[in-house]
A and B are shown apart, each in its own frame.
Chain A
Amino acid sequence: MIDKFVDTIAEAVGGVRDGATVLVGGFGSVGQPDALIEGLIDTGTRELTIVANNVGSGFVGLAKLLQVGRVRKMICSYPRSAGSVVFEEVYATGRLELELVPQGTLAERIRAAGAGIPAFYTPTAVGTRLAEGKEVREFNGRRYVLEEALPGDMALVEAWQADRWGNLTYRRSGRNFNPLMAMAAKVTVAQAHHVVDLGALDPEAVVTQGVCVDRVVHVPYPADSAEAAHD
C-alpha cells in the first residue's frame, strides 16, 4: 500500500545534506510551509541554497533560518518587504550570496526543472542588468534571454488537503509556487492542513499529482502556519 504520510516533522525533512538546494513554497507568508522550515532548522543542516520568492519577515520561518546562519545563498525575486529585517542584517554582513531573479522567470525556471526542460528563452529582463552575461537570441525580430532550469534537492510545500498517495490541493493564493516546486525536487515534502481518504479528492481538482510527492505530514489548520498567514 502506498502511504506517503509520516508522523513527525523530523521524519518529513530528514536526509537533507549540507550544501543542498531547498525550494520553499509561499508568497509572503501565505502558502509558506513554516512547520517544515522549523524542522529544517532543527536538522542543523548548513550552507543551504534557498529558493523562495521572499526572504521571510519577523523572526520566524525563512527569517529564522537566515538568522541562525544556515543559508549560504538565496535565490529569490523580492527580498525586500515589511519586516524583512533579518535578511537585511545578514545580507549587510556580506556572508550571504543573493541571486535576484524576476518573479516570472523564477517560476518558469522551477517549472522547467519539474518538466524536463533544461533551459528556455524568455523576453523578461532583456536589456536590463539582470540579463547581463546571459545568452541572448532573436526570434521573429524580438530578443530573448536564455534562462536555465532551477531544480532542488528538496522541496518544502504547504498544501490544503492531502491523501496517502500524496495528491495535493491548495487554498486560494496559497497555491503560488507550491505546485511548481513539488515537481522540481529530488525529494518533495508537503505539510497539509487536512488529511483525506484516498478517493475523496475530486480528480478534477487535484493540483499536484501524488507521484511528485515523497512525504506528507499533517499540520492542521489553524496551528503553526495559520498564525503566520494572518501576518
Chain B
Amino acid sequence: MTEQQTAGITPKPLNRLQMAQRVAADIPEGWCVNLGIGVPTLVADAIPADREVIIHSENGILGMGPAPAEAERDPWLINAGKQHVTLRPGGSYFHHADSFALVRGGHVDLCVLGAYEVAENGDFANWATSDTEAAPAVGGAMDLAAGARRIWVVMEHTTREGRPKLVRACSYPLTAPAAVSRIYTNLAVLDVTPDGLKVVELVPGLDLAGLRAVTEARVVG
C-alpha cells in the first residue's frame, strides 16, 4: 500500500463472508431482492433473522429461505444456482415468464451480482470473458441488469493476478451498460457517480491513495 497509510494498521481485506455481511447490512426490511451466484448467494444468510427481506429466484420463487438440512432436501425445490433451498411462510411459486415480468416490471428492488469487471460509468461484465469463448452462458444476468430497480455488484477488488476489476471501460463483453449503482469489494464500498466512483467506505487502514493504487477507474473521495 502507500506511505500515506500512517494509521499504523495494515489494511485487512474482507473475506467472502464479511463482504456478504457488508452488503446485507445495507438491505432494508421489505425489499424484494435477487441474489446472483457466488458471494451474492451468501448475502441471504447474512440478513438478520428479524429483518423481513423477500428473496426472488429466477426459476419461479419468491420468499426463498435458507438451505435445508441434507435429510430435509426437497428434490422439487432448487434456486437459480441449482442448490436446494426452502420456502418461507408467505412465499410462492410461478413460471419463468412471470418471474422475469417481476424483474423487468420493476418489482425487484435490488439485484446483487458478481462481476469480472465494472466500469466507472456503471457498465459491467459478468457473463463471458472473451469473444471467442467455447460455450458462453448468460442465464438471467442481462434480464436482471436491465430490469431490477438497482444493481449492486459484490466482488474482489482485483483479479487473482492483481489486475484492477474496477476499470475505465470494460474489456469483456457487457452484461448491461450503465447499470451498476454501487460496488462492494473486499477493500471498499463505492458509488457510481457522474464524476467517477465515490468512496463510501474503506477497510480500516486503507486510505484513498492506497485504494487508487489498485483501481483503474477514477476514484473520488
* Interface residues of A, Cβ cutoff 8 Å to B: 27-28, 30-31, 53, 77-82, 87-88, 91-92, 98, 100-108, 110-111, 122-130, 170-180, 207, 226, 229-231
Contact = CB atoms under 8 A, between A and B. Distances in A.
A180 B97 contact: yes
Contacts of A123: 104, 146-147
A217 B96 CA distance: 24
Contacts of A98: 135
B143 A103 contact: yes
Nearest to B145: A124
User: Which of A103, A129, A175 counts the most B-chain CB atoms under 10 A from its CB?
Assistant: A103
Contact of A104 (B100, B131, B177): B100
Q: Which 9 pairs between the two chains have the least Cβ-Cβ distance? A: A104-B100, A104-B143, A107-B96, A80-B137, A103-B140, A127-B177, A172-B76, A111-B97, A229-B75
Given A107-B99, A107-B100, A171-B76, A88 B174 contact: no
Nearest to B59: A27
Contacts of B138: 77-78, 100-103, 130
Contact of A175 (B75, B79, B95, B176): B95
A28 B80 CA distance: 9
B89 interface: no
Contact of A80 (B58, B104, B135): B135
A82 B37 CA distance: 13
A176 B175 contact: no
A173 B93 contact: yes
Contact of A179 (B75, B80, B95): B95
Given A102-B138, A104-B147, A226-B75, A81 B82 contact: yes
Interface string B120-145: 00000000100100111111111100
Contact of B134 (A88, A108, A174): A88
Contacts of B146: 122-126
A124 B142 contact: yes
A100 B136 contact: yes
A179 B93 CA distance: 12
B59 A173 contact: yes
Given A100-B137, A100-B138, A30 B143 contact: no
B66 interface: no
